[in-house]
């Protein structure tokens, strides 16, 4: 294979494998009775693995391959979700320690495959001969998706399938007033709620693709679909009798009202159950500009109110062996020169949120969202906010938006 052709095939792969080498030889034909040989670990469910491969062959290449499994320990240890792949003209060999590694190998093959050339109606997909070894650089590879009233089911399904195709393994899925709570039926857009049957379909699709879906419910700012651009509020627009649960402008939940915590607890537990009790739950908490501004909250330390609420949610999730995720922006001091170019939506010495970093459980996971860009030449740039959170002992996920 010439260098130009190699470059074209490499450009189709996302993410780029750790090791990739192309060989000369006839392309492998992915069609009915194509030979795929799997080397898996003792203890893996052979039937389940074969079902995954057969289903992916049907969906990716519209064929029914001949799949053979053998059990043995690989000569060199492979990290979780990693794989070794060898494509010869007559057979494909895949070695992996787990089901996700097998899935990832098949996704790589799909990215390399192209239809039969020089014909009007193709009969098979062709895959170049190659050797590949690959494994994830990060254990947590996620994307955050919002389900707005304007979001269609096909659009959401497309995003989830694309995330899986790009070898992500987690999705944080945040409903914006479209999840029909049974415990709080008024806390949803009356005409825009997504039926629970559609939610089940989406979760089933994600599960079949090997994705873990993490629910998110905003428990401070952006209270119930509050959107600065649109002025929408899924609760107060139709049920203003619940206004006391929120700060006077509706943007933030009221931290001092015990009824607020009751409602949030019920909704968190319902969502967690509905999503299949995943190992994480995201409680939001970003951009709470008006937190603690009502007359009742002002009778207390707003930082103490927030700490008490976060500990409450942390503890009920911990009872379910679930780690709490939350946004970072209120815990940075906007007067600190390290954070001048970083989003510090609500952090200030006046509110005292930054001191909570030393007082909150270390098993929290902070999601450090960054909307500002870095000059292209500064490829080794380290975000001061992420470094700061990690120095306090917190696992931290860096969350870009629309810039590399």
Closest Cα to residue 173, out of 199, 201, 139, 138?
199
Q: Read off the pTM.
A: 0.92
Q: What percent of the chain has pLDDT over 70?
A: 94
Q: Return d(Cα 349, Cα 332) in angstroms, integer.
A: 9
- Rounded to whole angstroms, the Cα distance separating 161 from 152 reads 14
For residue 319, cis peptide bond before it (omega within 30 degrees of 0): no
Q: Which tens digit of pLDDT belongs to each residue from 117-174?
A: 999 999 999 999 999 999 999 999 999 999 999 999 999 999 999 999 999 999 999 9
- CB 372: neighbour CB atoms within 10 A? 11
- Three-state helix/strand/coil letters over 129-169: CEEEEECCCCCCCEEEEEECCCCCHHHHHHHHHHHHHCCCC
- Per-residue DSSP letter, 26: P
Q: pLDDT tens-digit profile of 257-269?
A: 999 999 999 999 9
**Beta carbons of 190 and 236 less than 8 angstroms apart:** no
Instruction: Give CA–CA dist 344/229, Å, rounded.
Output: 19
Using DSSP's 3-state secondary structure scheme, residue 51 falls into helix
Q: Is the predicted pLDDT of residue 323 greater than 80, yes or no?
A: yes
pLDDT of residue 308 exceeding 90: yes
Q: What is the DSSP letter of 350?
A: T
pLDDT for 304 beyond 70: yes
Band (pLDDT 50/70/90 cuts) for residue 111 is very high
| Residue 338 to residue 340: CA distance in whole angstroms | 6
* H helix or E strand, kind and range, residue 324: strand 323-327
| Confidence at residue 187, expressed as pLDDT on a 0 to 100 scale | 95
- Residue 390: both structure tokens together: 């990690």
User: Around Cβ 347, how many Cβ atoms within 10 Å?
Assistant: 23
The string of pLDDT tens digits covering residues 24-67 is 999 999 999 999 999 988 788 889 999 999 999 999 999 999 99
For residue 370, the model assigns a pLDDT of: 77
pLDDT digits (tens, 9 = 90+) for 168-222: 999 999 999 999 999 999 999 988 899 999 999 999 999 999 999 999 999 999 9
């Amino acid at each position: 294979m010439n260098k130009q052709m190699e470059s074209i095939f490499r450009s189709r792969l996302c993410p780029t494998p750790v090791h990739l080498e192309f060989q000369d030889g006839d392309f492998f034909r992915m069609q009915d009775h194509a030979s795929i040989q799997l080397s898996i670990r003792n203890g893996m469910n052979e039937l389940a693995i074969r079902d995954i491969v057969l289903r992916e062959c049907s969906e990716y290449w519209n064929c029914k391959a001949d799949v053979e499994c053998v059990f043995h320990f690989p000569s060199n240890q492979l990290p979780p979700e990693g794989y070794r792949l060898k494509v010869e003209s007559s057979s494909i060999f895949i070695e992996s320690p787990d089901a996700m590694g097998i899935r990832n190998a098949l996704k790589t093959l799909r990215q390399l495959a192209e239809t039969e050339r020089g014909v009007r109606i193709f009969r098979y997909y062709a895959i170049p001969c190659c050797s590949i070894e690959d494994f994830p650089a990060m254990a947590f590879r996620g994307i955050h998706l919002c389900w707005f009233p304007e979001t269609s089911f096909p659009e959401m399904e497309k995003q989830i399938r694309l995330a899986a195709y790009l070898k992500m393994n987690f999705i944080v899925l945040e409903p914006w007033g479209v999840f029909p709570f049974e415990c709080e039926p008024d806390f949803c857009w009356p005409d825009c709620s997504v039926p629970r049957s559609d939610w089940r379909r989406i979760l089933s699709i994600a599960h079949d693709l090997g994705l873990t879906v993490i629910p998110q419910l905003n428990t401070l700012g952006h209270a119930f679909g509050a959107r600065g651009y649109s002025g929408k509020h899924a609760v107060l627009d139709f049920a203003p009798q619940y206004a006391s649960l929120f700060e006077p402008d509706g943007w933030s939940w009221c931290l001092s009202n015990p009824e607020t915590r009751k409602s949030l607890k019920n909704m968190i537990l319902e969502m967690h159950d509905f999503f299949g009790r995943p190992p994480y739950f995201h409680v939001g908490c970003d951009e709470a500009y008006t937190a603690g501004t009502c007359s009742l909250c002002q009778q207390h330390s707003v930082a103490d109110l927030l700490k008490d609420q976060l500990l409450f949610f942390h503890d009920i999730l911990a009872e379910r062996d679930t780690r709490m995720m939350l946004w970072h922006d209120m815990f940075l001091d906007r007067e600190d020169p390290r954070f001048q170019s970083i989003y510090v939506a609500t952090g200030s010495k006046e509110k005292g949120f930054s001191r909570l970093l030393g007082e909150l459980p270390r098993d929290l996971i902070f999601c450090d969202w960054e909307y500002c860009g870095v000059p292209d030449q500064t490829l080794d740039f380290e975000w001061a906010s992420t470094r700061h959170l990690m120095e306090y002992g917190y696992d931290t996920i860096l969350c870009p938006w629309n810039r590399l």
